[in-house]
């Protein structure tokens, strides 16, 4: 491939694509890649990157976020390769970096050091130039001789050269690339401002008696370059903090792992070379690279970032471990069950990448006006300069410079996505995943929450609610015998019964399980094998007893004489259900339950949760119809569900949550995903959404006020170039710093 970077050709191996791409199931041969973009500075840069990528044959589409500096590229392997569109980006002055790649991290670190050096040089030269400029400002007429004034100007000119040639290099490079592509970004007006200021001041230095000799502006030049670099440096650091949750998640996977070979020895291989069925050894302190089962050893696993569970979990032989979780205490041998895109880790990363690339409507509007706005800036600067030229050409050019520098659309472009990305990062660190940034705006406006029952308000488990006994029997004796049988089964009801009688002294022998019917066997107390009791535990037909009426889940116990006991079970509420729903109601929100279960069962769970409005026996169509009727009345509804039958109503709600290990369809329809299954995350997210929109409104108000005040001041000549540089840097910094307040670590949704 002519002109393709040889280093990038290594990524053309299809084996490497899984590290940053996934093949779309609906269209085989079409891939979707997620990369970070280096070299972007504003919304117009994001549009330029999109244009460059879309111009590559075989690239079907590209989406670039100005806030997160990430891109999603859809391409066909029959027409192009990753090296080709990455090389196209390099030619345009940008670089595609693989998220989590160590070489990419090293390049970012090197670029960060260069940016720091540029900033330091600009700062040092600015201080020296200000020292030489001060006498001209404070001296009275005649205090400084023309020769001394000329010497001070020449010294300032010399000190401005490093600022022009080194510190300002990125502005000129990007502006030149834009001009070659006949495009425009914020670097073009900045570069023009720097060049005009230096040219005017140089003319005044070389010809003190010429048209531009009245005053030089080296102090303004060095100051606004310094302030612009300060703004970009701080913005970069702050953006890394606000949008760093995705990097923190992606970097949890190790680059390599110890895999057991056929001869029993362990060899270190790249993680992407793993296959299902492999045996790997994960050392203490390492992350699990794939989903699997522990075969040997016992340890503690940290799954906080993946499931919201804040406490380390014990993992021994037979226990499942998930990719991305950390092995905390001891080496373990793990059999790989799922790798790559099939792991829960990959699914979570995909959700977060989708959110990082999502553009809220307000951000899309800002992106659309970025280029026309910059064109208007150039025209306004030219008009202002032309207006002032007859009076004072030097002053006219500096007015034009002030207009070029001060009218930066970056604050407007960052106002919305910076706040939403900060919130998405905070939620991700607390166990809540954001699929669409736009959902923050919708969630902040909801006035009612609708919850599914089974799997949402309740866990996938049952609890014993009542025991009814034959005359002459005691609860402890009957429960102990039933638990001895139930311990031999993995059925959810059997586990609940075994848990209720976990201190039983009874033992069971010759236990047989009839699937879907029940258990039979003989039980006895320790040391008394002669007193055997033949029992049946299960359905009324299996136990040959008369069924009781009611909608409770009932399990029967019978002996040779017939009915012995009836155990009533109810669904187990999630631990934080009642507290969360009460908090939502206390906030003035309407809370309802829609369930496919029987009306009585739904009402019972709703009563336990403290909800008065409940409707049972709902089909998926019934749920959707109820939701649409509420929306027609003007309600803005948030839906919380987990199952396959929740897909339509999750898609139809203003905003939706998929809770627990929701099926893929439910996750695809939801705006927020709570993989840990803690309902407290719903309340936490709603509160943060309201805070997020307050910050967004503050940012938009500031951006509007800044432009409304500063642009007229610059046009009339009341805003010097150095002050314009401060205003431009401060506007973007204020927006990002304000958004950073949302990135503070939230309590873990799974915390206790």
Question: Which sequence positions are flagged as catalytic?
Answer: 452
- Bridge partners, 191 (sequence order): none
3-state SS string over 279-308?
A: EEEECCCCECCCEEEEEECCEEEECHHHHC
Say how far apart CA 129 and CA 218 lie, in whole Å.
7
Residue 554 pairs in a beta bridge with: 568
Residues with Cβ within 8 Å of residue 470, at least 6 apart in sequence: 563, 564, 565
- Collapse the DSSP code of 142 into the 3-class scheme (helix H, G, I; strand E, B; otherwise coil) and give the result: coil
Strand-pairing partners, residue 314, are 300
Phi, psi of 95 (to 5 degrees): -140, 135
Contact yes or no for 99/249 (Cβ under 8 A): no
568, 465 Cβ separation under 8 angstroms: yes
Considering only CA atoms, which of 578, 577, 567 is closest in space to residue 543?
567
Q: Would you tell me the crossing angle of helices 393-406 and 218-242 to the nearest 10 degrees? A: 0
Q: Which of 686, 678, 641, 622 is nearest to 450 (CA)?
A: 641
Nearest-CA neighbor of 432 among 659, 661, 752? 659
Q: How far is CA 534 from CA 71, 144, 262, 563, in A?
A: 67, 115, 50, 12
Q: Contact, 319 vs 256, CB < 8 A?
A: no
Alpha helices in 474-617 (DSSP H): 475-486, 492-500, 540-543, 577-586, 599-609
Look up residue 433 and give its two tokens: 């995943």
422-449 burial, b for 16+ CB within 10 Å, e for fewer?
bbbbbbbbbbbbbbbbbbbbbbbebebb
Q: Is 561 strand, coil or helix?
A: coil
C-alpha atoms less than 13 angstroms from C-alpha of 399 in its C-beta half-sphere:
24
- As a whole number of angstroms, the distance between CA 224 and CA 227 comes to 5
* Structure-token pair, residue 525: 């107390």
Q: Kindly give, in sequence order, each residue whose CB lies less than 8 Å from that of residue 380, ignoring residues fewer than 6 positions away.
A: 403, 407, 711, 715
CB atoms within 10 A of CB 502: 10
φ, ψ for residue 575, nearest 5 deg: -60, -30
End-to-end CA distance of the chain: 57
Cα–Cα distance list, 168 to 121, 127, 130, 158, 638 (Å): 10, 17, 18, 15, 49
DSSP string over 222-291: HHHHHHHHHHHHHHHHHHHHHTTHHHHHHTTS-SEEEEE-TTS-EEEEEGGG--TT-EEEE-TTPBP-SE
CA 190/CA 187 separation, integer angstroms: 5
């Amino acid at each position: 491939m002519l002109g393709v970077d040889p280093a990038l050709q290594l990524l053309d191996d299809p084996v490497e694509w899984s590290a940053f791409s996934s093949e779309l199931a609906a269209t085989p041969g079409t891939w979707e890649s997620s990369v970070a973009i280096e070299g972007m500075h504003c919304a117009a840069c994001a549009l330029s990157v999109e244009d460059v990528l879309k111009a590559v044959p075989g690239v079907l589409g590209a989406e670039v976020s100005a806030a997160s500096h990430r891109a999603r590229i859809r391409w066909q392997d029959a027409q192009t390769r990753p090296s080709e569109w990455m090389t196209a980006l390099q030619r345009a002055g940008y670089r595609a970096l693989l998220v989590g790649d160590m070489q990419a991290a090293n390049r970012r670190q090197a670029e960060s050091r260069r940016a720091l050096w540029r900033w330091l040089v600009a700062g040092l030269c600015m201080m020296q130039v200000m020292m030489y400029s001060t006498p001209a400002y404070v001296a009275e007429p005649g205090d400084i001789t023309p020769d001394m004034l000329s010497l001070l100007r020449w010294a300032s000119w010399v000190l401005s050269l490093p600022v022009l040639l080194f510190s300002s290099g990125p502005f000129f490079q990007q502006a030149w690339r834009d001009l070659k592509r006949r495009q425009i970004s914020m670097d073009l007006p900045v570069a023009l401002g720097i060049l005009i200021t230096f040219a005017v001041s140089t003319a005044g230095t070389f010809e003190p008696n010429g048209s531009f000799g009245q005053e030089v502006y080296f102090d303004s030049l060095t100051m606004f370059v310094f302030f612009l670099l300060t703004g970009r440096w701080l913005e970069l650091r702050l953006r890394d903090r606000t949008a760093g949750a995705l990097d923190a998640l992606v970097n949890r996977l190790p680059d390599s792992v110890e895999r057991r070979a056929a001869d029993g020895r362990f060899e270190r291989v790249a993680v992407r070379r793993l296959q299902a069925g492999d045996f790997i050894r994960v050392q203490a302190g390492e992350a699990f690279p794939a989903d699997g089962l522990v075969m040997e050893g016992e340890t503690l696993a940290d799954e906080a970032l993946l499931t919201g569970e804040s406490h380390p979990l014990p993992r021994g032989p037979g226990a499942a471990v998930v990719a991305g979780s950390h092995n905390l205490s001891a080496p373990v041998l793990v059999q790989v069950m799922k790798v790559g895109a099939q792991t829960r880790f990959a699914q979570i990363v995909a959700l977060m990448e989708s959110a990082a690339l999502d553009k809220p409507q307000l951000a899309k509007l800002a992106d659309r006006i970025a280029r026309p706005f910059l064109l208007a800036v150039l025209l306004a600067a030219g008009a202002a300069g032309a207006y002032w030229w007859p009076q004072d050409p030097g002053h006219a050019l500096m007015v034009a410079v002030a207009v070029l520098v001060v009218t930066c659309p970056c604050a407007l472009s960052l106002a919305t996505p910076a706040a939403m990305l900060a919130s998405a990062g905070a939620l991700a660190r607390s166990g809540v995943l954001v699929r669409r940034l736009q959902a923050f705006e919708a969630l902040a406006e909801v006035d009612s929450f609708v919850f599914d029952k089974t799997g949402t308000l309740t866990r996938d488990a049952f609890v014993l609610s009542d025991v009814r006994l034959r005359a002459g029997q005691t609860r402890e004796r009957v429960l102990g015998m039933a638990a001895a049988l139930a311990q031999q089964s993995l059925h959810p009801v059997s586990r609940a019964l075994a848990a209720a009688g976990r201190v039983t002294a009874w033992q069971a022998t010759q236990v047989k399980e009839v699937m879907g019917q029940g258990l039979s066997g003989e039980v006895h107390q320790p040391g008394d094998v002669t007193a055997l009791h033949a029992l049946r535990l299960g359905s009324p037909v299996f136990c040959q007893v008369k069924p009781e009426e009611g909608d409770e889940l009932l399990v029967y116990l019978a002996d040779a004489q017939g009915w012995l006991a009836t155990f009533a079970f109810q669904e187990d509420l999630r631990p934080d259900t009642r507290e969360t729903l009460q908090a939502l109601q206390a906030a003035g929100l309407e809370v309802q339950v829609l369930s496919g279960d029987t009306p009585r069962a739904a009402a019972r769970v709703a009563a336990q949760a403290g909800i008065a409005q409940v409707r049972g026996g709902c089909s998926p169509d019934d749920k959707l119809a109820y939701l649409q009727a509420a929306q027609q009345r003007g309600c803005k509804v948030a839906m919380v569900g987990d199952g396959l039958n929740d897909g339509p109503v999750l898609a139809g709600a203003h905003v939706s949550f998929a809770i627990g290990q929701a099926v893929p369809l439910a996750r695809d329809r939801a705006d927020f995903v709570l993989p840990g299954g803690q309902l407290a995350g719903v309340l936490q997210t709603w509160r943060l959404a309201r805070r997020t929109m307050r910050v967004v409104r503050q940012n938009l108000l500031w951006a509007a006020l800044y432009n409304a005040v500063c642009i007229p001041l610059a046009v009339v000549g009341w805003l010097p170039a150095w002050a314009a540089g401060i205003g431009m840097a401060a506007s973007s910094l204020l927006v990002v710093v304000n958004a950073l307040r949302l990135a503070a670590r939230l309590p873990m949704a799974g915390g206790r």
